[in-house]
Amino acid sequence: MKVFAPYRDHAYAIFRFMSGALFACHGAQKLFGALGGHKVSDPFMLTAGIIEFVGGIMIALGFFAAPAAFLACGEMAVAYFKAHAPGGFWPIENKGELAVLYCFVFLYIAAHDSGRIALDRAFRRKS
């Protein structure tokens, strides 16, 4: 809608920030036992926690958000097929809807980069 067009950059920045911040919380649960989670020791889960925490912060701040989001998208695809798909075909059935949603949210962010309101902008050279 044209009425929302002037707010497109702000809406995308909020979307990117909230997606990254919430994703970082999942990493904090795995790495630090924070937010009601517990520390993990499995190398596979530690790797997931690092991707979630560091990648989530990078996405939230808009600092190399596209590569971070692409990596996070891949992690969520692996998480879905490794942890959820064996429980049934449909995501609603196997409790994998959050993994699928994150996967496609991060694919969208990877395709759209950090946006105009992002930390990346502070490091770009003016032409």
In this prediction the pTM is 0.92
Q: Residue 124: what residue type?
A: R
Say what the pLDDT of residue 10 is: 96
pLDDT for the residue numbered 126? 60
Q: How far apart are the first and last CA of the chain?
A: 32
Cα four-point dihedral sign 24, 19, 93, 86 = negative
Burial zone of 16 (CB within 10 Å; 0-12 exposed, 13-18 middle, 19+ buried): buried
Q: Could you state, in chain order, the average pLDDT of each consecutive group of 10 residues for the chain (127 residues)?
A: 91 97 98 94 96 98 97 97 94 96 98 93 70
Residues 6+ positions from 105 with CB-CB distance below 8 Å:
19
Check if the beta carbon of residue 75 is closer than 8 Å to that of residue 51.
Answer: yes
